[in-house]
Amino acid sequence: MLGQVEAVDLVKEFRTFKRKEGLWGAVQDLFSREYTTLRAVNDVSFQITPGEMVGYIGPNGAGKSTTVKMLTGILVPTSGEVRANGYVPYRERTAYTRTIGAVFGQRTQLWWDIAVVESFRLLKRIYDVSDADYEARMARFDDILAINRYLHQPVRKLSLGERMRCDMVAALLHNPPLLFLDEPTIGLDLLAKENIRQFLKEVNREYGTTILLTTHDLSDIEELCSRLMIIDHGHILFDGPLDELKRMLWRQTQIKFELKDVAQGVAIETFELPGVGKERLDELTYRFSFDREDFTSGDVIRRVVSTAEIRDIFIEEESIEEIVKRIYTGSTLPAMQQR
């Protein structure tokens, strides 16, 4: 089997009923309800090969969580097929769940009022982890996450960062070949985020764990994922390497010029080029921005350089956040459909 996870034409529809307004509406609802069907996931197909780390992003309500729930076997697809680790998740849930791990950033799977280590012991037991494996993994995980310090504290006393580290360990104690992470870095401080990312990298490298993660923090993707999938309104808009997305959608280029001396400012102030925006950052630095379709960087640089004496040139690419924001607002859809 090539794909460890395979989704073919996956569709999930939810039936919700419209609540009528007011008291009379509530009474009416008791007898007849108007149902509306919402397509949360619409014809989604993809494959994930073993060892891949895939970032799955999209605005709130785009269908991310619904997809993850179908992949983990919590939801049954309305139509289409899904297979993971050789199982049809919803059909063979109990057997399948032995082969996956999952972390939901918003919720903990640890018992709230008891020491973390008690939860671990329970997981060790229900996943049949041997003592030797348990000890070895705990030692390895502690190397990176340093969780031993608070293993004997109840979860309610842990900070969010500490709790998330423990949740990661809980999901990986049985060394599943496939790991689902739903917003694993939500609400974490920079150090905790960095630590969790490093941990995921190590796990992926050492155990070859395949990881699918959803996030709103694009730096998670930049640091971890070789591949990115973007979903919106139930459709997959993009599926490929991050670099490809940048190449395809990097539209706005910004070049910062640092003048040789203040005297050069006069020349630069008179410089005009229709379609190229000019912004004075301070008396020595100016920023020019333009559409990559209209101008090449070389073109703009040549013109500026022939106008004034320049000390340094910095080309700034559009940040991934900017690109993704454009995708979410729909302004780049035509460009993507040309693909």
Partner 1 sequence: MTAALALSRQLGDLLEFSRIGFVNILAFRLRYYTGIVTYLINVTVYYFIWKALYATDPDFAAGFTFAEMVTYVSVGWVIRSVYFNNIDQNISYEVMEGKIALSLLKPVSVQSMQMGRALGESAFRLVMLTIPAGIVISLVFPVQGPASAPHFGFFLISLAASILLTGALNFIVGTFAIRMKSILGLLRAKYFVFELLSGLLVPMTMFPDTLQKIVAYLPFQHIAYTPLRLYLGKLNESEIYEALALQYLWIIALAVFGAWFWNLMVRKVTIHGG
Q: Which is nearer to partner 1, 115 or 160 (CB)?
A: 115
Rg (CA), the chain: 25
Angstrom distances, CA of residue 61 to CA of 75, 226, 288: 16, 24, 37
Give the separation between CA 153 and CA 151, rounded to whole angstroms: 6
Q: Which is nearer to partner 1, 114 or 267 (CB)?
A: 114
Query: Residue 318 contacts by C-beta under 8 Å, 6 or more apart in sequence?
Result: 246, 250, 251, 252, 253, 254
* Residue 245 makes contact with partner 1 by CB under 8 A: no
- Give the other-Cβ count within 10 Å of 18's Cβ: 11
Backbone angles phi, psi at 191, to 5 degrees: -65, -45
Among 94, 270, 337, 338, interactor with partner 1 by CB under 8 A: 94
Closest distance to partner 1 from the beta carbon of 125 (Å): 4
Give kind and range of the element (H or E) at residue 27.
helix 22-31
Closest distance to partner 1 from the beta carbon of 2 (Å): 26
Q: Which is nearer to partner 1, 75 or 268 (CB)?
A: 75
* Residue 42 makes contact with partner 1 by CB under 8 A: no
Q: Which is nearer to partner 1, 122 or 160 (CB)?
A: 122
CA 268 to chain centre: 42
* Residue 100 makes contact with partner 1 by CB under 8 A: yes
Q: Which stretch binds partner 1 (CB under 8 A): 106-114, 133-141, 297-305, 315-323?
A: 106-114
Among 2, 15, 22, 191, interactor with partner 1 by CB under 8 A: 15
Q: Under rule CB under 8 A, which residues in 108-167 are in contact with partner 1?
A: 109, 111, 113-115, 118-119, 121-122, 125-128, 154
Q: Which is nearer to partner 1, 16 or 319 (CB)?
A: 16
Among 9, 14, 241, 302, interactor with partner 1 by CB under 8 A: 14
Give the separation between CA 312 and CA 257, rounded to whole angstroms: 6
CA 175 to chain centre: 22
Specify whether the CB–CB gap between 154 and 114 falls below 8 A: yes
Closest distance to partner 1 from the beta carbon of 40 (Å): 8
Rounded (10°) CA dihedral 108, 110, 115, 120: -130
Q: Which stretch binds partner 1 (CB under 8 A): 47-55, 69-77, 225-233, 265-273?
A: 69-77
| Positions that interact with partner 1 (CB under 8 A) | 12-16, 40, 69, 72-76, 78, 90, 93-95, 97-98, 100, 102, 104, 107, 109, 111, 113-115, 118-119, 121-122, 125-128, 154
